[in-house]
Amino acid sequence: MGLASVTSISAVLMILGIVLVLILSINNVVNDTKLKFDEVEVFLEDDITDFQMTTVEETAKSIPGVISIIYRSKEQALELMKQDWGEDAYLLEDLETNPLPNSYIIKVQDLELAENLVNSIKTLDGVEEVKYYKDIIDRLLTFANYIRIGGMIIIAVLVFVSIFIISNTIKLTVSSRKREINIMKYVGATNSYIRGPFIIEGVLFGLFGAVISIFIVYYAYSYLYANMNESFYNMFTFYLISPESILSDIAIIFLTIGAGIGAMGSILSLKKFLNV
Amino acid sequence: MIRFVNVSKEYKNGVIALYDINMEINKGEFVFLVGSSGAGKSTLIKLLLKEEGITRGKLYLNGTDITRVPNRRIPFIRRKLGVVFQDFRLLPNKTVYENVAFAMEIIGASPREIRRRVPAVLGMVDLSRKASSYPDQLSGGEQQRVSIARSIVNNPPVLIADEPTGNLDPETANEIMKVLVEINNRGTTVLMATHAKEIVDSMRKRVIALENGRIVRDEEKGGYGIEI
C-alpha cells in the first residue's frame, strides 16, 4: 500500500518537473531576449536610395534614447549567420543569392523608447520591416503565463489526488492501531503526540517519492539536453537551461512538496480517529 | 475533588441522559455509582473524562472549572484521572511492563522515572512475576490488575473505574476490590460505577444511586439497595 502512495507522489512530482523545466526554459528565453532588447533591427529594401537611407539615419538620430546606429550589409549579415550556425554553416554554402537584407542595427537605452523609434521609422520609404523585440517578449510572457497557470491547475489537482491516496493508505495503518490510539487518548496523550509517528510515516513516503522523481526528472532531462540542445538552438536560437543549474532547485521543490503531501495526508487520515 | 452543580446532559438525538445532577466527592473518598443500565452512569463518567460536553450546569475537578475547556486542554485533564474499563483495554502486542510504561511515555516521563516507577506499581498489584508476559497469557483478573497499574502509574488524584469487575468471577472480583481499596487507602479518590450488588453491600462505602438520569439516593456506608 505504501507503494501506491510513493508512486502517486512521484507521478505528481514528475509532472511538476516537466512544467518547471518548461517555465524555467521560457524564463531563460525571455531573459536572453531581454539582452538583445536594446536593439531594433531595421531591414531595408534592396532598391533603397541613398537619400532614403540618409532619411532613415537622420530620423533615428533625432529620437531621444538612441545610442548608436550601425549599418550592416547583407554580406556581413550572412557572415554572422554562418558564425552562429557553427558546424551546420555548410548548409548556407549552397545559396545562390544572398537572401538576407541590408539593415540598420539601432541600439537604444530602453525598450519603452524603442516603441517611439519603431513607429517613426517603419513608415519611411525603403524600409521593409522593423524587427522589434518587445512583441516577442510580450508574447513569450503571455505564453509563459499560460503554461504557468495551466501547470498550476494540473499540479493542484494532482496534489489533491495524491493527498487523498496517501491519507487512505495511512488510514489503514491508523485503523489497525485504533485501539492503541483510543487508549492513548484515555491516558492523556495529546493529539500531536499521537499524530507524530503517522506524520513521520507520511513524510517518509513523500520524501521517498520525491527522491525517485528527482532522479527520473534529472536523468531524463539530462538525456534530452545532451541530445537536443544544439538542434534546439538552431531552430529557435536559444539554449535549453542546463540540467545542473536546475538540479538543486528541483530537489528543494520536490522534497518540500513531497514531504508536505505526506504530512497533509496523514493529518487528514487521523482526523476522525482523534475525536475521543 | 469532583463537584457536579446542576449538571444536565442532553444528547443531540434528544435523549436526556442526566438531569440536574448535584454531587460532591471529596478527596480520599471511595464512592460507588450504582444504577441499572441506561440510568446514566456511563454518561456521568464520560462527562468527567470530557468525552462528552455538558448541556447545562457546572463541573469542577480539583477546584478547577472544567465545564467547558478547549480540546487541546482535554489531555491534561485526563492525566488527573486514572481510568479502568470493564474490557481492560490493554495492548495485545505489548508486555505487561510495556503496557504500564506506555502510559508514562505518553506524558513524557523520563526513562529513569519509568524504570523506577513501573516495577513499583506492578508490585502493588502483585504482578511483578508477570512483567514480561503478554495480555493473552494472563487471566481476566490479572489483566484487570495490569489495567489498574496503568491507570495509577502516573499518580492521578482520582481513579475512575467503569464496571471493573463486570467480566470477572466473584472471587477474582474480590481481588480487584482489594487492590482498589488499597489504592484508595493511599489517598487516591476512587469512583466506581458498578452493577455488582454483593460487592457494594459488603464494602459499606458511600453509594450514589442513579435512576433515569437523576440521583435517587446518596448515602454514607450504603448498600446497593433493594429497589433495583
pLDDT reported for residue B66? 92
| Distance (Å) from the alpha carbon of A199 to chain B's nearest alpha carbon | 17
| Distance (Å) from the alpha carbon of B222 to chain A's nearest alpha carbon | 30
What residues of chain B lie within 8 A of the CB of A180, using their CB?
91
Give the chain A residue whose CA is nearest to the CA of B53.
A276
Whether residue B105 lies within 8 A of chain A, CB to CB, comes out as no
Q: Dihedral of CA A201/A205/A206/A211: which sign?
A: positive
Give the chain B residue whose CA is nearest to the CA of A185.
B75
Residue A19 burial (CB < 10 Å; 0-12/13-18/19+)? middle
Separation between Cα atoms, residue B127 and residue A72, nearest integer Å: 100
Whether residue B53 lies within 8 A of chain A, CB to CB, comes out as no
Q: Which of B69, B94, B106 best tests the A interface by mutation, with the highest count of A CBs <10 A?
A: B106
Whether residue B73 lies within 8 A of chain A, CB to CB, comes out as no
- B89–A179: do the CB atoms touch at under 8 Å? yes
Please report the DSSP string for A18-55 in residue order: HHHHHHHHHHHHHHHHHHGGGEEEEEE-TT--HHHHHH
| Distance (Å) from the alpha carbon of B144 to chain A's nearest alpha carbon | 14
Is residue B187 within a helix (H) or strand (E), and if so which, with residue range? none
| Distance (Å) from the alpha carbon of B225 to chain A's nearest alpha carbon | 32
Place of cell 477546584: B63
pLDDT reported for residue A57? 81
- Could you tell me which CATH class the domain A34-132 is placed in? alpha beta
pLDDT reported for residue A74? 80
Q: How far apart are the first and last CA of chain B?
A: 28
Give the chain A residue whose CA is nearest to the CA of B160.
A186
Q: Pick from B102, B111, B94: which is nearest to B150 by CA?
A: B102
What residues of chain A lie within 8 A of the CB of B152, using their CB?
none
Please report the DSSP string for chain A in residue order: -HHHHHHHHHHHHHHHHHHHHHHHHHHHHHHHHHHGGGEEEEEE-TT--HHHHHHHHHHHHTSTTEEEEEEE-HHHHHHHHHHHHGGGGHHHHT-SS--PPPEEEEEES-HHHHHHHHHHHTTSTTEEEEEEHHHHHHHHHHHHHHHHHHHHHHHHHHHHHHHHHHHHHHHHHHHHTHHHHHHHHHHT--HHHHHHHHHHHHHHHHHHHHHHHHHHHHHHHHHHHHHHHHHHHHHHS-PPPPHHHHHHHHHHHHHHHHHHHHHHHHHHHHHGGG--
**Residue B228 clears pLDDT 80, i.e. is over it:** no
- B106–A184: do the CB atoms touch at under 8 Å? yes
Q: Which of B89, B98, B121 best tests the A interface by mutation, with the highest count of A CBs <10 A?
A: B89
| Distance (Å) from the alpha carbon of A196 to chain B's nearest alpha carbon | 12
Give the chain A residue whose CA is nearest to the CA of B80.
A188
pLDDT reported for residue A1? 59
What residues of chain B lie within 8 A of the CB of A182, using their CB?
89
| Distance (Å) from the alpha carbon of A197 to chain B's nearest alpha carbon | 13
The tens-digit pLDDT sequence of chain A (276 residues) is 578 778 888 888 888 888 878 777 777 777 776 666 677 888 888 888 888 888 888 887 787 778 888 888 888 888 888 887 777 777 777 777 788 888 888 887 766 667 777 777 877 878 888 877 667 677 777 877 887 788 788 878 888 888 888 888 888 878 888 888 888 888 888 988 888 888 998 899 899 999 999 999 888 888 888 887 777 666 665 667 778 888 888 899 889 989 998 898 888 888 877 775
- A179–B49: do the CB atoms touch at under 8 Å? no
Integer angstrom CA distances of residue A142 from A26, A27, A240: 11, 11, 19
Give the chain A residue whose CA is nearest to the CA of B82.
A187
Separation between Cα atoms, residue B28 and residue B186, nearest integer Å: 8
- A186–B154: do the CB atoms touch at under 8 Å? no
Residue A268 identity: L
Longest dimension (CA), chain A: 97
Q: Is A218 within 8 Å of A247 (Cβ atoms)?
A: yes
**3-class secondary-structure state, position B60:** strand
- A-B contacts at Cβ under 8 angstroms: 41
Q: At what angle do helices A178-187 and B96-106 cross, to 10 degrees?
A: 60
pLDDT reported for residue A233? 66
Domain ranges of chain A: 2-33+137-274, 34-132
Give the chain A residue whose CA is nearest to the CA of B154.
A187
Separation between Cα atoms, residue A18 and residue A213, nearest integer Å: 11
More reliable by pLDDT, A101 or B207 = B207
User: What structural domains does chain B harbor?
Assistant: 1-80+157-228 (3.40.50.300), 90-155 (no CATH)
What residues of chain B lie within 8 A of the CB of A187, using their CB?
78-79, 83, 102-103, 106-107, 150, 154
CA angle A92, A95, A96 (to 5 degrees): 160
Q: Is A104 within 8 Å of A132 (Cβ atoms)?
A: no
**3-class secondary-structure state, position B53:** coil
Cell numbers representing residue A34 in the block: 531581454
